[in-house]
Amino acid sequence: MCVSRCSRCVGASLLALAVVCAVANALLLLPELKVRFLLEGHVTREATWATGLWSSGFLVVLGAREFLRSDGAPGCCAFRTRMLRQVLYSCACLMCSALCCLVSVTGLVQGPLCLYNVTGGAAWGVPLKPTPYRDTGYLYNRSAWSGVCLKPEGVVQWNVVLFSILAAASGLQALLCAASVVNALLGVVLGRGKPCRNTIKGGPRSGVTPQ
């Protein structure tokens, strides 16, 4: 039925987006594709929270498996029970993906952790972080992308692109999960499962006595 097909489409889409989130977050942990910045603790804080790996990644995959198994269960009660379970999975995935989206947007706005010049020399910090006297204009000022951070090389572009991908993918996950909640609720109210195999279609004919 339509409700089950929609659930399977949502599940497949969530799986693909979970892979995108996991890859983007993994790359955020490896500026210049080198692990030494991670080992030295010189990686942007929001990237180390790894919400793209465990929240929009692993946990969403668990929910997507339930959606992919969605099929017309024999009997009305069994089908509605499965739809109620999908409501719970959808709400859980919605919270996970929304958390990842929020963290990604925060990381994008705050700017990367990098080595930059200060009065006493070079130091590690977040030079593009918004302050009461400076907004997030660095996102629209391409000259700041290469003129502020010394190490890792190209870290501003790296973070902007990957955090944007992570925010977009997790935000799309949240929209799909919200649609899945509505879809599952419709399944609870209006859905019908597959008829049982031992049900005789059309019932016994009048005047015919079973042998």
Condensed to tens digits (0 to 9), the pLDDT of residues 123-158 reads 999 999 887 666 657 888 787 788 899 999 999 999
Range 94-110 burial, b when 16+ CB lie within 10 A, else e: bebbbbbbbbbbebbbb
In angstroms, the CA 19 to CA 53 distance is: 9
Give me the pLDDT at residue 194, please.
52
In angstroms, the CA 102 to CA 44 distance is: 15
User: Do residues 74 and 67 make contact, with C-beta atoms less than 8 angstroms apart?
Assistant: no
Single-letter residue type at 72:
G
- pLDDT, averaged across the chain: 85
Instruction: Say whether pLDDT at 201 is over 50.
Output: no
Task: Using DSSP, state whether 64 is helix, strand or coil.
Answer: helix
- The pTM for the full model equals 0.84
Question: pLDDT higher for 170 or 69?
Answer: 170
Instruction: Say whether pLDDT at 167 is over 60.
Output: yes
For residue range 108-122, what is the model confidence (pLDDT) as tens digits?
Answer: 999 999 999 988 889
% of the chain beyond a pLDDT of 70: 82
Does 130 sit behind a cis peptide bond, omega within 30 degrees of 0 on the bond before it?
no
Give me the pLDDT at residue 38, please.
96
Instruction: Say whether pLDDT at 45 is over 90.
Output: yes
User: Do residues 58 and 203 make contact, with C-beta atoms less than 8 angstroms apart?
Assistant: no
Distance separating the N- and C-terminal Cα atoms of the chain: 35
Q: Which one-letter DSSP state was computed for residue 118?
A: E
Instruction: Say whether pLDDT at 33 is over 90.
Output: yes
Strand ranges inside 44-120, DSSP E: 114-118
User: How many CA atoms within 13 Å lie on the side-chain side of 99?
Assistant: 17
